[in-house]
A and B are shown apart, each in its own frame.
Chain A
Amino acid sequence: NAGVTQTPKFQVLKTGQSMTLQCAQDMNHNSMYWYRQDPGMGLRLIYYSASEGTTDKGEVPNGYNVSRLNKREFSLRLESAAPSQTSVYFCASSEGGGPYGYTFGSGTRLTVV
């Protein structure tokens, strides 16, 4: 089925370790996003990519880096994980222009100990 695929689904890291969360979409969407969701909270935007070759900071970019590898893929990297980055991470994509919504992946549950 068409959609947004995130890997891994679960991950436990030790403080200071690094890792990359992968996201791929097969809908030929121009824009892609990374959100984090903490318990009882809404989603907060970390980074986004309006189109291939561009990336911009969202609300909470500190401690993260992103790469828009191509039109399909948008990765999120934690260089030195901290317990405050324990969260559920969602990737989303959307078509630019017009009344279209976002399609979200199923999330990556990350725990930093």
Chain B
Amino acid sequence: LAKTTQPISMDSYEGQEVNITCSHNNIATNDYITWYQQFPSQGPRFIIQGYKTKVTNEVASLFIPADRKSSTLSLPRVSLSDTAVYYCLVGVSGRGGSQGNLIFGKGTKLSVKP
């Protein structure tokens, strides 16, 4: 299973763009990159998923370079409510078994200040 490395914590201010980078040097050909958001006392919430290049939805953008050894979650114009832990995961999404479950690390704790 591909291991991921991301910063333990990040600080930002309201209205700024936040970019959280995750490295996954051992990503496999059929692995997807998935990001989750977790607020205190809640389960993680799916934010975005991608395989290569760029993916954008109403919440965030995900940038994946051609070698796929890293990825960057971009949150445009953050607000106080974006304060949460963000997890980067690599695996064959949606599949259990030996094909690879999604493994959660400690994530990046994002603190947004006024």
Contact = CB atoms under 8 A, between A and B. Distances in A.
Contact of B93 (A49, A101, A106, A107): A101
A111 interface: no
Interface in B73-114: 87, 93-97, 101-107
Interface residues of A, number: 34
Interface string A20-45: 00000000000101010000111111
Contacts, number: 79
Interface in A42-96: 42-45, 48-51, 54, 56, 58-59, 90, 92, 94-96
Interface in B9-39: 32, 34, 36
A99 B49 contact: yes
Nearest to A50: B96
22 contacts: A31-B96, A42-B87, A45-B101, A48-B96, A48-B97, A48-B101, A50-B96, A50-B97, A59-B103, A90-B44, A92-B43, A94-B93, A94-B95, A97-B94, A98-B93, A99-B50, A101-B34, A101-B36, A101-B49, A102-B94, A102-B102, A104-B45
